[in-house]
């Protein structure tokens, strides 16, 4: 897979994937952010995703159902699946562009092509958590420690992986920019 990424997809297709990713991710994420902000406070969102407590999870879902906003919550997670696809396209393309820019003799080159794969993994984790969340929302009686741990653990793992990918993009982007600037002088 890593050798495949060194040449495929070609540069034009990779740019198209990037444009599609930006077109999907940015507006949907922005809309979703405002939609979930209308449903939950920031403290509730933090508790929902990081508490690992089944009772807190049930309570937040129950309060949304009691307010009659179940369809809005379903829409948040349906849209989140589209947003995750956009994220995957966007970050896959960005990390692939950076990986292809790294000098093959560099130490970074050996790991550069892992980051497009990490971007796909982050999106797959996000989509799987959203699917489990959709199942749980439709049938709150199946909320268990296992489903809560899956959703919360998945969220924590995604944040960790996203931090690694973001650090990589910033670090390599800065290094490549400095090298390019030095070549111009």
Contacts of 155 (CB under 8 A, 6+ apart): 49, 50, 129
* For range 160-178, the mean pLDDT: 90
What's the whole-model pTM score?
A: 0.84
Q: What are the percentages of helix, strand and coil residues in the chain, rounded to 5?
A: 85, 0, 15
- Residue in the structure block whose two tokens are 């990713």: 21
Please, what is the average pLDDT of the chain? 87
What percentage of the chain carries pLDDT values higher than 70? Answer: 95
Q: What is the mean pLDDT of residues 113-126?
A: 93
Residue 161 has pLDDT above 90, yes or no: yes
- Residue 177 has what pLDDT? 85
Q: How confident is the model at residue 102 (pLDDT cuts 50, 70, 90)?
A: confident
User: Residue 5: what pLDDT?
Assistant: 60
Residue 3 has pLDDT above 70, yes or no: no
Domain ranges of the chain: 2-184
pLDDT at residue 7 in the model: 65
- Mind listing the pLDDT tens digit for each residue in 62-92? 888 899 888 898 999 999 999 999 999 999 9
CA distance 123 to 86: 9
Q: How far apart are CA 100 and CA 173, in angstroms?
A: 12
- Identify the top-confidence range among 5-9, 96-100, 118-122: 118-122
Does the pLDDT at position 2 exceed 60? no
Q: What is the pLDDT of residues 49-69, one digit of tens each?
A: 888 888 888 888 888 889 988
Listed ranges 33-47, 76-90, 171-185; the one with the highest mean pLDDT: 76-90
């Amino acid at each position: 897979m890593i050798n495949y990424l060194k040449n495929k997809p070609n540069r034009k297709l990779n740019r198209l994937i990037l444009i599609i990713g930006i077109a999907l991710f940015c507006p949907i994420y922005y809309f979703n952010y405002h939609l979930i902000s209308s449903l939950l406070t920031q403290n509730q969102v933090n508790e929902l995703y990081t508490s690992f407590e089944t009772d807190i999870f049930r309570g937040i879902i129950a309060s949304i159902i009691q307010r009659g906003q179940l369809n809005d919550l379903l829409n948040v997670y349906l849209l989140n699946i589209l947003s995750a696809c956009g994220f995957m396209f966007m970050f896959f393309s960005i990390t692939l562009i950076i990986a292809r820019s790294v000098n093959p003799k560099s130490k970074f080159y050996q790991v550069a092509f892992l980051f497009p794969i990490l971007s796909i993994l982050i999106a797959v984790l996000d989509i799987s958590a959203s699917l489990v969340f959709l199942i749980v929302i439709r049938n709150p009686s199946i909320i268990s420690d296992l489903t809560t741990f899956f959703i919360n653990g998945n969220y924590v793992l995604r944040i960790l992986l996203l931090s690694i990918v973001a650090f990589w993009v910033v670090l390599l982007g800065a290094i490549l920019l400095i090298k390019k600037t030095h070549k111009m002088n």
